[in-house]
A and B are shown apart, each in its own frame.
Chain A
Amino acid sequence: MNLDSKIPSGPISEKWTKHQFDSKLVNPANRRKFNLIVVGSGLAGASASAALAELGYNVKTMCIHDSPRRAHSIAAQGGINAAKNYQNDGDSIYRLFYDTIKGGDFRSREANVYRLAQNSVKIIDHCVALGVPFAREYGGLLANRSFGGAQVSRTFYARGQTGQQLLLGAYSAMMRQVDSKKIELLNFREMLDLVLIDGKARGVICRNVLTGEIESHAADAVVLATGGYGNVFYLSTNAKWSNATAIWRAHRRGAAFGNPCFTQIHPTCIPVSGDYQSKLTLMSESLRNDGRVWVPKDANDTRTPDQIPEEDRDYYLERIYPSFGNLAPRDIASRQAKFVCDEGRGVGSTKLAVYLDFAAAIKRDGQDVIAGKYGNLFQMYEKITGDDPYKVPMRIFPAVHYTMGGLWVDYNLQSTIPGLHVLGEANFSDHGANRLGASALMQGLADGYFVIPSTLAHYLGSTKLDKIDTNHEAFKEAQANVQSGISRLMNIKGNKTADELHRKLGKLMWDNCGMERSEQSLKKLLEEIPKLRDEFWNDLRIPGEAASLNQELERAGRVADFIDLGELMARDAMERRESCGGHFRTEFQTPDNEAQRDDENFCHVAVWEHQGEGKAAKRHIESLNFENIKLATRSYK
């Protein structure tokens, strides 16, 4: 398998500029001859669609919703990082690069991350120009706050709705191109297969979810921006429709999967309240700017929080990580929350929660100031739990939030299939083994607005693409493949709902491949998943017909893919015999319970190649070379 990362030569700060100069271009008059498909309309997909259409390409953009603006980027709360150094606190492109590499526990590519930090600056400028209402100071200039894993304030925000506002910016840019007919918007479409001709990605098969019709769409290149796969765990902060089907089906067609086991568990989510729970809600990391995390010192302390005096509280993050305090990175903060709960010091009825307390901040700044910063989050918390966080500390617990793994891509964001580019959370790049807060929005928009326009032009300008249409044999084969997959699901006629089986998968994954993993737990998981797969294919029930709106059918197809992906995650976690970032193998930890990396044997990306139905995927590696930042044990103490 060819895993050439195509990292340009030269000093890190000049690689991207040099690469852009060395890349082929497509002249403006020729761009209209190329047809592109973008699947997904979140930050990465919408920004890519807009930027490519602005350049003159013909773009078809697909989304599963009625409107492209409903993609789950809309729910991102806290903010977006950019190395503007507007705060004069010593920030720079190099520092953002450094923080991101370190935050990712030295498991990402230096060149990609440096480019991300460079582009971060332009993202803010462009979003402001699009009319994104970022928070402002009284002087009219942009405001910033801090996020985990950084000692500078470089996070730009729009109240607790930054993702919404950035997505609406990208969506508006995209809708402008819809109006000028450079983008054809295909809403209510779910991609179910990728079409390859002569080894190149030349189109997709999708299902119109309203009519059940299976459609073929041909193109010169395909861009996937379909987000992450956190819903493998059933309960996560992802939206209910977030799924891995597009990337998984591309994987089955030959796109290699990078680091599938790298999952981010976010430390501050609203705890589970019952068996009916359908998803988990995040409480933005930005709250840790002012909220203090604590539990009682004594596991037997049954007093209400207001009755527990200072000396009986353990502000464990401040105690263990004095220099970063409550803003320790997510993987670390999550693990510490688990440790204190394992010690029996958790709070609330389930004892699976810790306090996030704003009393000190409210006393210091006043309730109005706190409400101005986090009002909508406090309101959301109250709606869900019935508690008022201005009076009672929030109760929070870690939950699955983001997946750093994804389809493997080179520096051009091209997968191992020529012509298939993968952007945003759907690819594996940039965040290593742990993503820092406010960096997902940055990556999605950097990929879409600034990277793909250059790298896709290079592909189109340097590749011989035969004229094809959807009458080609490959489309017929893929259509038949999709049809038979749907019939197979419809004909199981068992007794269990897709949701029921999905919950089962989620519990297996969370218990055995969640916040911590061990050889033993993974072994168990690898025994259980095939059983669950059998159960799924023998006992699933989908009422109704395939040729109409059928939400059970949609769900079932996604769960089938989650089961297979879950198995790959388990195998990847098993093979990575070290701990790094969010991947915590209990066998590999330092005496003070921090992740212990093994740089000698695992300083690489694990890249999995599909070997055919029923066969185990093959593991390859892409070595990671650190030329600028010295590999070091991560410390936030």
Chain B
Amino acid sequence: MAGNNNSRTMRIHLKVWRQKDKSSEGRLVDYTLDTVSPDMSFLEMIDVLNGQLVGRGEEPIAFAHDCREGICGSCAMVIDGEPHGPQTGTTTCQLHMRTFNDGDTIVVEPFRAKAFPVIKDLVTDRSALDRIQAAGGYVSVSTGNAPDGNAIPIAKDLADAAMDAAACIQCGACVAACRNGSAMLFVSAKVSQFALLPQGQAERERRVSRMVWQMDEEDFGSCTNMGSCAAACPKEIKVDNIARMNREFGRAMLFGQQREQRSED
């Protein structure tokens, strides 16, 4: 039972990516922690290490994190080569040290992709994903217009399927896992949510085409159907969404969607 493991501690060796800023070269630096509790979360272990580093007057490891409940999508580490580490369906913050063994060496790196520049250590800039959302990830309805909530009945299985897709936390693990750095799983999850729901129908073609084109502009790679995105996804978003997005995009082209010039400032 948790809470009873305090007497048993582990020695963990870490190789952590340290990079001063965007323009500096980074490298893996070795650290060892002698008293890691199996009940610690992975981030709590980094907290302990950071406490020691600050104690020695060194700069702590910068990393993004916030809710530590697996829902905000901030935390983003590649652990032993896998985004969010070895446990399936788990964000870095929810990964616990009981997953590892005494004496293990763990390699910790940032999410790597052309579209996610490293800002410092393990922190990357993932705002490209927001720009894709802004291109079409919404239903255009202004406040005050809505009919009664029950005026739009939605079959339970459709609502459930939309919810499955909407569970995406925008962490970017799918991008980091993809050898092409593609954001197809992320974009397709949003496209699917609205393609499945009646509320999304009015903007169906416009939405998918604008989101896909924005994705292209943000330096994400192409999808080659490897499926490593879905395998890495901490929310287990299904790869079927990509198939649905491809259908939606093809349909939008048939309906004559035209690519507009979107100037970025």
Contact = CB atoms under 8 A, between A and B. Distances in A.
Contact of A66 (B2, B55, B127): B127
B150 A142 contact: yes
Contact of B90 (A210, A383, A549): A383
Contacts of A226: none
Contacts of B107: none
Given A70-B72, A187-B127, A129 B57 contact: no
Contacts of B156: 136-138, 140
A239 interface: yes
A176 B139 CA distance: 8
Nearest to A125: B146
A300 to B, nearest CB: 19
Most chain B C-beta atoms within 10 Å of own C-beta, residue among A67, A171, A273, A350: A273
Contact of A133 (B41, B74, B162): B162
Given A122-B146, A136-B159, A543-B60, A279 B72 contact: no
Contact of B197 (A67, A131, A172): A131
Nearest to A450: B143
Most chain B C-beta atoms within 10 Å of own C-beta, residue among A129, A173, A387: A129
Nearest to B94: A383
Interface stretch (A105-113, A425-433, A495-503, A610-618): A495-503
A241 interface: yes
A134 B148 contact: no
Contacts of A69: 73, 130, 170
Contacts of A379: 89
A179 B135 contact: yes
B86 interface: no
Given A131-B197, A136-B159, A349 B4 contact: yes
A541 B60 CA distance: 12
A293 B258 CA distance: 59
Contact of B47 (A50, A172, A278, A282): A278
B133 to A, nearest CB: 5
B108 to A, nearest CB: 16
B48 A133 contact: no
B142 interface: yes
Interface in B77-117: 87, 89-90, 94, 96, 98
A632 to B, nearest CB: 33
Interface stretch (A2-10, A160-168, A358-366): A160-168
Interface string B122-142: 010111011001110111111
Given A67-B129, A173-B138, A348-B1, A274 B40 contact: yes
Nearest to B198: A131
A380 B98 CA distance: 15
Contacts of A86: 150
B142 A240 contact: no
Nearest to A543: B59
B1 A126 contact: no
A51 interface: yes
Interface string A349-383: 11000000000000000000000000000011001
A276 B149 contact: no
Interface in B45-61: 45, 47-48, 50-51, 53-55, 57-60
Interface stretch (B10-18, B62-70, B180-188, B249-257): B62-70
A482 interface: no
Contacts of B224: none
Given A276-B40, A349-B1, A386-B1, A165 B120 contact: no
Given A348-B3, A386-B1, A164 B60 contact: no
Most chain A C-beta atoms within 10 Å of own C-beta, residue among B37, B66, B153: B66
A514 interface: no
Given A385-B2, A552-B54, A74 B152 contact: no
Chain B interface helix/strand/loop/mixed: loop
B193 interface: yes
A461 interface: no
A68 B72 CA distance: 10
B47 A128 contact: no
Interface in A531-580: 541, 543-544, 548-549, 551-552
Contacts of B167: 161, 164
Given A133-B166, A175-B134, A541 B44 contact: no
A70 B74 contact: yes
B155 A140 contact: yes
A352 to B, nearest CB: 9
A111 to B, nearest CB: 22
Interface string A219-241: 00000000000000000000111
A51 B66 contact: no
Nearest to B73: A70
Contact of A67 (B37, B47, B130, B199): B130
Interface in B16-57: 21, 37, 39-41, 43-45, 47-48, 50-51, 53-55, 57
Contact of B67 (A47, A72, A141): A72
A277 interface: yes
B223 interface: no
Contacts of B193: 131, 133
B243 interface: no
Contacts of B45: 276
Nearest to A495: B55
B194 interface: yes
Nearest to B52: A497
A449 B143 contact: yes
B139 A129 contact: yes
B139 A384 contact: no
Nearest to A138: B156
A142 B194 contact: no
A384 B129 contact: no
Contacts of A215: none
A65 interface: yes
A413 interface: no
A133 B146 CA distance: 15
Contacts of B261: none
B130 A129 contact: no
Interface string A166-207: 001001110110110000010100000000000000000000
Interface in A41-95: 47, 50-51, 54, 65-72, 74-75, 84, 86
B137 A172 contact: yes
B55 A383 contact: no
B3 A75 contact: no
A210 B126 CA distance: 13
A453 interface: yes
A529 B265 CA distance: 48
A139 interface: yes
B149 to A, nearest CB: 4
A271 B143 CA distance: 40
A478 interface: no
Given A139-B153, A140-B154, A278-B68, A129 B146 contact: yes
A267 B263 CA distance: 51
A67 B127 contact: yes
Contacts of A135: 159, 163
Contacts of A67: 73, 126-127, 129-130, 170
26 contacts: A65-B66, A70-B73, A74-B71, A126-B141, A128-B149, A129-B146, A129-B199, A131-B139, A133-B166, A141-B150, A141-B153, A158-B163, A175-B134, A175-B138, A179-B134, A239-B67, A240-B65, A278-B43, A349-B4, A380-B70, A380-B94, A500-B51, A544-B59, A548-B21, A548-B120, A552-B60
Interface of B: 1-4, 6, 21, 37, 39-41, 43-45, 47-48, 50-51, 53-55, 57-60, 62, 64-74, 87, 89-90, 94, 96, 98, 119-120, 123, 125-127, 129-130, 133-135, 137-150, 152-156, 159-160, 162-163, 166-167, 169-170, 193-194, 197, 199-200
Given A72-B72, A135-B159, 12 more contacts: A47-B143, A66-B125, A70-B74, A74-B67, A125-B149, A136-B155, A141-B150, A239-B68, A240-B67, A278-B43, A497-B51, A551-B62
Closest 4 CB pairs of A and B: A140-B153, A172-B138, A129-B146, A385-B2
